[in-house]
């Protein structure tokens, strides 16, 4: 009786509940004009009535304070019913409230004033208008809402669980016994919370959320906060009530209904951390728990801010299109980004899992605690989280040598940023498609690389103090670029200010201007040149006696001085570049800020060479005019150890980039790699190998057999000493293991007899053991790939793929299957991916990319995409990461004019149908670059190889 009364009281008074909250500071990113009084200027709602708002962005007249959200998913009928009460504050008198809503059926909407709730009066029914083009609904109120008052909007709604990977969607997995089970999971970033509940779905509309989830007894429910209680209902249903969240943006709300198992631990500050996975994969959660506990402890100390929530769950989702999502307190992951199986996960798998965990945990501060004001500055979230991978993993797992991997992060984005189709880090984005396109390598990787450059410029201590200042000042609020630069210019914390309003650090007043060996530099002035304009600078260096002449210009792949528009491009861009350099006469690191188009430096003494961008901390390419490159090549051949290991990698990278820009001939770059026969740095060996291997694959795909054969013989002979040293084991440091995997993969691909023989032997032993033999994880992919070349081996691998409970092993098997030379087998893989049972839809994009890299599969994959475009759109949204990856993965390796024309015609047909994505221009520019590379460098490569072999 008491229990029943408590339930009735809760039902009556739930709407009266209001947390003590500080009103959010709303930062207005752009001015909205009210709709014209002329009805013809209004958009038209679905019922034919005028829709009272005509902007993509929501008005600021009404802001949310608190959501009470109830959700009941049905995992049998695959739909859900839900209701919510949103407490709002009216800032300006209005006759309507605009919310986001997409694919939701609104059943009922009512409005309560505070007086209505106080005296238990019935609410006023609201007229609901829908404008799907902007994914908005309008709630028309019967009486004008008065400014500075709070109101309560109640909405009942329902929808199907989404088939795609956005909003509130279904995911399935198979048990070891072959049973298919369903879970329901959310993924809201950037603009998909509106698919799960009507809301103010913009990052600046922060609010608190109280969530209740109804479920069956065989499932559990998870959400951002810990569970407060569970209520038993009729029919065996249970209803979980969760604590009210801290103030946060809608895209961070999360809830899951599943039957997963978990493992838990507690951080040194008392935070409970749990790792969830499907029951048969529970044993693979232990490394993630260890890493999460370590990393969370590190971040609390580094940021000097405790993790704000009482718990943190990390959940491996069977169907997840990206790597992970940083929902506050309930982080969701693709299984391969969280689970680690010691029997099948390699060194690179371990590094991947660790860095993804580090990335998402960093978001609990960067993005969740402090959120970008609008999606144009998503790099403040993603660039920082990517950079914090370097800081945190290096500190907690130094044996993983993550700083090595970070070099590749910057090299990868340089390829994209050197295209004219690149964009600024901070870029205009309004529509959901434009916002989705901001989640790319520029926002993530370039953001991280310029932060690394800034940290090197400021020094680590000052950089850390600036970050702490930024996080503390803007906690539970939104920030923009300038707020970050101000914080990084000011090493003071909020509590450091004296009563007189001044802050002192090391007995020196801190200002926005930093002293830099003989120069004053304003951080904002410098960094806006990196965030508000696209591209990467080229620093041209020419040495004349004791003087160095410097020139900066934008670096563009395959845009030459004779091309139209080249001059205009040179004049349009100017960066403030923090240069570092060393010389043959001194190992001291010299620093200089290049703020103008040209400059001159005086050297204290004569030097035979000068090397810029010490340790690759700067985000720029360097070209040494005159005899500069010849002097560097000579030194590499005489004694390469005079250069730091990272500087040798930088020279290899820059010289091949300059070839792509037409600044150097290919033979000059190839001559530079000749010293690699004496190289002991694994990183430098891998970098040189990467370029040579890419040339081989380019020639192989074009079936240029003479160059392919000569390059094959050159690689096997040139790298023979280091190839012969490799063992088929998991021994050594992570650098040794990465080199082993790369070299053996290449040599087996080149049909090197000893490699094929050993891989075949191991594959036979594995099949004879019925898949029970533990092959060393670093060579597992290689062994599978060799085994997949026979029909029996390929069929056996496909059987093992379906049975395997290890995502890491599945990835290796799928890659091996994609290397088959038989098109009918490749087509079978694609069909299985489209069907989505044996090969999940989440893996289809990666599969098509892998098949397209196979010379026997490149045209097959591209033809499939063109012919099945409509079917692909049923699986993935046009602007999704998966579709963009499919488009680029199946086309960007093309290198002929016929292929370019074929791709262009297809893209034109899509544009005619109203589809336009930034990836179209990126692909066309990439193919054009490939064509120019072949035209300019194929004869040189052919001649150079003929001489060398």
Please count the other Cβ atoms lying within 10 Å of the Cβ belonging to residue 288.
Answer: 25
For residue range 837-855, list pLDDT tens digits in order: 999 999 999 999 999 999 9
Q: Does residue 492 surpass a pLDDT of 60?
A: no
For residue range 447-481, list pLDDT tens digits in order: 999 999 999 999 999 999 999 999 999 999 999 99
| Calpha distance 863→852 (Å, rounded) | 10
Q: What percent of the chain has pLDDT over 70?
A: 93
Q: Which SS3 state, helix, strand or coil, does residue 387 take? A: helix
The reported pTM is 0.92
Q: Does residue 489 surpass a pLDDT of 90?
A: no
| Calpha distance 657→485 (Å, rounded) | 31
Could you tell me if 258 and 182 are in contact, meaning their C-beta atoms sit under 8 angstroms apart?
A: no
**DSSP state for residue 44 in the 8-state scheme:** B
Catalytic residue, from 300, 360, 693, 925: name it.
360
Mean local confidence (pLDDT), 229-255 = 97
Could you tell me if 547 and 600 are in contact, meaning their C-beta atoms sit under 8 angstroms apart?
A: yes
Tokens of 102: 């997409």
For residue range 127-148, list pLDDT tens digits in order: 999 999 999 999 999 999 999 9
State yes or no: 799 annotated in a binding site. Answer: no
Q: Phi and psi (nearest 5°) for 138? A: -115, 130
Whether 437 is a known active-site residue: answer no
Give every strand in the sheet of 136-145, ordered side by side.
94-100, 136-145, 127-131
Q: Does residue 34 surpass a pLDDT of 50?
A: no
Mean local confidence (pLDDT), 302-317 = 98
Mean pLDDT, the chain, whole residue set: 91
Could you tell me if 389 and 362 are in contact, meaning their C-beta atoms sit under 8 angstroms apart?
A: yes
The angle that helices 286-303 and 347-363 make with each other, rounded to 10 degrees, is 40
Tokens of 757: 């023989």
Q: Does residue 548 surpass a pLDDT of 70?
A: yes
Lowest pLDDT segment from 225-229, 485-489, 760-764? 485-489
How high is the pLDDT of residue 840?
A: 96
Q: Does residue 740 surpass a pLDDT of 60?
A: yes
State yes or no: 382 annotated in a binding site. Answer: yes
| List of E strands, 830-939 | none
How high is the pLDDT of residue 916?
A: 82
How high is the pLDDT of residue 437?
A: 92
- Ranges of CATH 1.10.390.10 domains, the chain: 370-495+517-531
Q: Does residue 914 surpass a pLDDT of 90?
A: no
Q: Does residue 225 surpass a pLDDT of 70?
A: yes
pLDDT band, very low/low/confident/very high, at 327 (cuts 50, 70, 90): very high
List, in order, residues 6 or more apart from 175 with CB less than 8 Å away. Answer: 181, 278, 279, 280
How high is the pLDDT of residue 522?
A: 85
Q: Does residue 497 surpass a pLDDT of 90?
A: no
For residue range 379-398, list pLDDT tens digits in order: 999 999 999 999 999 999 99
Burial 484-523 (b: 16+ CB within 10 A, else e): bbbbbbbbbbeeeeeeeeebeeeeeebeeebeeeeeebeb
How high is the pLDDT of residue 383?
A: 96
How high is the pLDDT of residue 521?
A: 62
Helix (H) or strand (E) holding 210: strand 208-215
List, in order, residues 6 or more apart from 215 with CB less than 8 Å away. Answer: 72, 73, 221, 237, 238, 239, 240, 257
CATH class for the region spanning 43-259? mainly beta
State yes or no: 49 annotated in a binding site. Answer: no
Q: What percent of the chain has pLDDT over 90?
A: 86
Q: Does residue 940 surpass a pLDDT of 60?
A: yes
Alpha helices of 518-627 — where are they, by DSSP H? Answer: 523-531, 566-572
For residue range 766-785, list pLDDT tens digits in order: 999 999 999 999 999 999 99
For residue range 245-269, list pLDDT tens digits in order: 999 999 999 999 999 999 999 999 9
Mean local confidence (pLDDT), 855-879 = 94
Question: What CATH number does the domain located at 370-495+517-531 have?
Answer: 1.10.390.10
Longest CA pairwise span in the chain (Å) = 96
- Ranges of CATH 2.60.40.1730 domains, the chain: 43-259
């Amino acid at each position: 009786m008491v229990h029943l009364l408590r339930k009735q009281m809760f039902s009556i008074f739930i709407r009266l509940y209001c947390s003590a909250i500080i009103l959010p500071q709303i930062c207005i990113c752009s001015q909205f004009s009210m709709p014209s009084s002329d009805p013809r200027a209004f958009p038209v709602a679905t019922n034919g009535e005028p829709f009272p708002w005509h902007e993509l962005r929501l008005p600021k007249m009404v802001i949310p304070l608190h959501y009470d959200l109830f959700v009941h998913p049905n995992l049998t009928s695959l739909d859900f019913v839900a209701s919510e009460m949103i407490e709002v504050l009216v800032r300006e008198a209005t006759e309507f409230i605009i919310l986001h809503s997409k694919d939701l059926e609104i059943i009922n909407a009512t409005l309560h004033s505070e007086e209505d709730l106080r005296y238990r009066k019935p609410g006023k029914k609201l007229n609901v208008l829908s404008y799907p083009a902007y994914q908005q609904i309008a709630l028309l109120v019967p009486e004008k809402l008065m400014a500075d008052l709070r109101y309560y909007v109640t909405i009942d709604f329902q929808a199907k669980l989404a088939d795609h990977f956005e909003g509130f969607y279904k995911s399935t997995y198979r048990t070891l016994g072959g049973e298919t089970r369903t879970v329901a999971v959310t993924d809201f970033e950037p603009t998909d919370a509106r698919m799960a509940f009507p809301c103010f779905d913009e990052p600046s509309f922060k609010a608190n959320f109280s969530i209740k989830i109804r479920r069956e007894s065989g499932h559990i429910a998870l959400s951002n906060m810990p569970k407060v209680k569970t209520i038993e209902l009729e029919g065996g249903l249970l209803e979980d009530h969760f604590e009210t969240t801290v103030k946060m943006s809608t895209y961070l709300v999360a809830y899951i209904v599943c039957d997963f198992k978990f493992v838990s631990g507690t951080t040194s500050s008392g935070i409970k951390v749990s790792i969830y996975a499907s029951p048969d994969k529970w044993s693979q959660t232990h490394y993630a728990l260890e890493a999460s506990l370590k990393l969370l402890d590190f971040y609390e100390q580094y940021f000097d801010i405790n993790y704000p929530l009482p718990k943190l769950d990390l959940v491996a989702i069977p169907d997840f299109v990206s790597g992970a999502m940083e929902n506050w307190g309930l982080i969701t992951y693709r299984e391969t980004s969280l689970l680690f199986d010691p029997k099948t996960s390699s060194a690179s798998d371990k590094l991947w899992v660790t860095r993804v965990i580090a990335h998402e945990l960093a978001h609990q501060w960067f993005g969740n605690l402090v959120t970008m004001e609008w999606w144009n500055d998503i790099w403040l979230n993603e660039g920082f989280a990517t950079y914090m991978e370097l800081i945190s993993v290096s500190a907690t797992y130094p044996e993983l040598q993550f700083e090595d991997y970070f070099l590749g992060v910057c090299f990868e984005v340089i390829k994209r940023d050197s295209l004219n189709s690149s964009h600024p880090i901070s870029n205009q984005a309004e529509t959901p498609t434009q916002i989705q396109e901001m989640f790319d390598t520029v926002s993530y990787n370039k953001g991280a690389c310029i932060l690394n450059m800034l940290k090197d410029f400021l020094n680590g201590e000052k950089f850390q103090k600036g970050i702490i200042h930024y996080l503390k000042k803007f906690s539970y609020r939104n920030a923009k670029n300038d707020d970050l630069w101000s914080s990084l210019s000011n090493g003071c914390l909020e509590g450091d200010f004296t009563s007189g309003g001044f802050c002192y650090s090391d007995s020196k007043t801190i200002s926005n201007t930093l002293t830099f060996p003989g120069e004053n530099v304003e951080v904002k002035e410098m960094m806006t040149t990196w965030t508000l304009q696209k591209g990467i600078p080229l620093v041209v260096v020419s040495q004349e006696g004791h003087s160095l002449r410097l020139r900066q210009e934008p670096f563009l792949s395959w845009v030459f001085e004779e091309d139209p528009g080249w001059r205009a491009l040179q004049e349009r861009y100017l960066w403030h570049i923090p240069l570092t350099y060393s010389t043959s006469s001194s190992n001291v690191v010299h620093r200089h800020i290049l703020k103008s188009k040209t400059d001159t430096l005086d050297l204290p003494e004569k030097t035979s060479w000068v090397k810029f961008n010490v340790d690759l901390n700067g985000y720029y390419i360097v070209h040494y005019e005159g005899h500069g490159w010849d002097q560097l090549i000579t030194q590499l051949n005489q004694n390469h150890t005079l250069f730091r290991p990272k500087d040798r990698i930088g020279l290899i990278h820059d010289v091949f980039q300059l070839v792509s820009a037409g600044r150097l001939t290919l033979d000059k770059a190839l001559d530079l790699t000749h010293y690699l026969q004496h190289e002991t740095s694994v990183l430098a060996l891998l970098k040189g190998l990467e370029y040579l291997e890419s040339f081989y694959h380019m020639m192989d795909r074009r079936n240029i057999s003479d160059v392919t054969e000569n390059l094959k013989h050159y690689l096997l002979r040139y790298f023979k000493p280091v190839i012969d040293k490799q063992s088929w084991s998991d021994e050594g440091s992570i650098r040794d293991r990465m080199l082993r995997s790369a070299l053996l993969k290449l040599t087996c691909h080149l049909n090197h007899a000893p490699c094929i023989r050993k891989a075949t032997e191991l594959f036979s032993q594995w099949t004879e053991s019925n898949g029970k033999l533990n092959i060393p994880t670093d060579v597992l992919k290689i062994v599978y790939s060799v085994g997949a070349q026979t029909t029996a081996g390929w069929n056996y691998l496909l059987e093992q793929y379906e049975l395997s409970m290890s995502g890491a092993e599945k990835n290796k098997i799928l890659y091996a299957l994609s290397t088959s030379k038989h098109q009918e087998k490749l087509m079978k893989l694609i069909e299985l991916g489209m069907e989505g049972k044996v090969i999940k839809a989440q893996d289809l994009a990666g599969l098509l990319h892998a098949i397209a890299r196979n010379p026997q599969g490149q045209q097959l994959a591209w033809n499939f995409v063109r012919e099945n475009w409509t079917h692909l759109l049923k699986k993935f949204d046009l602007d999704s990461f998966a579709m963009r990856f499919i488009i680029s993965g199946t086309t960007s390796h093309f290198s002929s004019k016929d292929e370019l024309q074929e791709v262009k015609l297809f893209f034109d047909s899509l544009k005619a149908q109203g589809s336009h994505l930034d990836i179209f221009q990126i692909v066309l520019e990439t193919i054009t670059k490939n064509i120019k590379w072949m035209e300019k460098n194929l004869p040189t490569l052919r001649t150079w190889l003929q001489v060398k072999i």
